[in-house]
Structure formats: structure tokens, C-alpha cells
């Protein structure tokens, strides 16, 4: 599983190198990376500060619309910035914000 994550990161980097993208790819569809036994889609999102968000969605769920994924990324980005605003948070540390976790889990619950 982690291997896919890493490969997805590589793809994200590949897309980042494309010039003219302010926010990077808001989404990236890995339809082609469907694992034989496990369908899943990986969505990528890059912020201005080169922070990458990756969402892995199980394809067994009803496919999420692209807009939904985008809104998820937006929420993720917002809560991420809130976490970053915390002076006690050292960038690079795993995020331990309960609010952040709550939002993320809420999103996950929403999308099933």
C-alpha cells in the first residue's frame, strides 16, 4: 500500500514540474493505477508551498465526483493551514491537532 503512495508521489512531482500551475494539480486521477485486487484511486493536490495532499479512495465506494474530491482537498487545505498557523506546531511534525483530525475524519465519514 505504501508503495502506491510513493508512486503516486512521483506522479505528483511529475505534474508539478509543469509550469503555470499555481496550485499544482488539484486532483490527479490514478485510474490507471488500479491495483488488480484492490481498486482505488489516488488523488493528488499540491499547495503553493509544495505541500502535497494525497487522497486514496477505495473504488468500491461509489465513485466520488471530481468536485467532491476537490472540496475535500479544499477543506483539507484549510484545516492544514490552520494547523500551520499554530506557533507550537513545528512544520514537519506529524499533525496532532484534534481539530484537524476531526475534520479529516469527518470528511472520511462523509464520503463513506
Partner 1 sequence: MESLTLTDIEQKYYSDLFVYCDTDNTKKVASNGRVLDLFRAAQLPSEVVLQITELCGATRLGHFGRSQFYIALKLIAIAQSGLPLRVESLNSVKDLPLPRFVVGKNEAEARHAALYQDTDSQGLYPASATAVIPRPPGRGLQNKKGPPSSTALPPEPTSPVVSPHQSPPTSPHSWRKHKRQHSGGNADRQPVVAATGAVWTQFREPQAGPVPGEGMWPSHSPPPPGQESWVSFTADTPPSSALPAMHPSSVQESTTIRTVASAATTNEIQRQSSGYDDPWKITDEQRQYYINQFKTIQPDLTGFIPGSAAKEFFTKSKLPILELSHIWELSDFDKDGALTLDEFCAAFHLVVARKNGYDLPEKLPESLMPKLIDLDDSAEVSESTADVGYSGSPVEVTPNKSPSMPSLNQAWPEMNQSNEQWETFSERSSSSQTLTQFDSNIAPADPDTAIVHPVPIRMTPSKIHMQEMELKRTGSGETTSAFPLLIDCDGYSSSDSFTSDQEPITRQRSQSGTSPEALKVVAPPPPPPRPHPSHSRSSSLDMNRTFAATSAPGQPQPSTIAFPPAVPPRPLPTQAEVAPGGGAVLTTTSPQQIPQQPNFADFSQFQAFAASEQPSSLPEKSSEGAGPLRTVKSDGQADERSSATVNSAKGSSGPLAPPPKPVRRRLKSEDELRPEDEQHGPQKSNVIAAVLATQPSIPRSVGKDKKAIQASIRRNKETNTVLARLNSELQQQLKDLLEERISLEVQLEQLRPFSHL
- The residues of the shown chain that bind partner 1, judged by CB under 8 A, are 81-83, 85-89, 96-99
CB of 46 to partner 1, least distance (A): 22
According to DSSP, residue 77 is labeled: H
**CA angle (27, 28, 34) in 5-degree steps:** 135
> Closest separation between CB of residue 27 and partner 1, Å?
25
Nearer to partner 1, 13 or 82 (CB): 82
Backbone angles phi, psi at 98, to 5 degrees: -70, -40
What number of CA atoms fall less than 13 Å from residue 10's CA on the CB side? Answer: 6
Q: Which is nearer to partner 1, 65 or 98 (CB)?
A: 98
Q: Which of 9/84 has CB closer to partner 1?
A: 84
Amino acid at each position: 500500500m505504501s508503495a502506491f503512495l510513493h508512486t503516486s508521489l512521483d506522479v505528483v512531482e511529475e505534474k508539478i514540474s509543469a509550469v503555470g500551475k499555481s496550485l499544482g494539480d488539484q486532483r490527479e486521477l490514478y485510474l490507471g493505477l488500479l491495483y488488480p485486487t484492490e481498486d482505488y484511486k489516488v488523488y493528488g493536490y499540491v499547495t503553493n508551498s509544495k505541500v502535497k495532499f494525497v487522497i486514496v479512495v477505495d473504488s468500491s465506494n461509489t465513485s466520488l465526483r471530481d468536485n467532491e474530491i476537490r472540496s475535500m482537498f479544499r477543506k483539507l487545505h484549510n484545516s492544514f493551514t490552520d494547523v500551520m498557523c499554530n506557533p507550537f506546531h513545528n512544520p514537519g511534525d506529524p499533525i496532532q491537532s484534534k481539530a484537524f483530525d476531526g475534520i479529516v475524519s469527518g470528511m472520511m465519514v462523509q464520503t463513506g
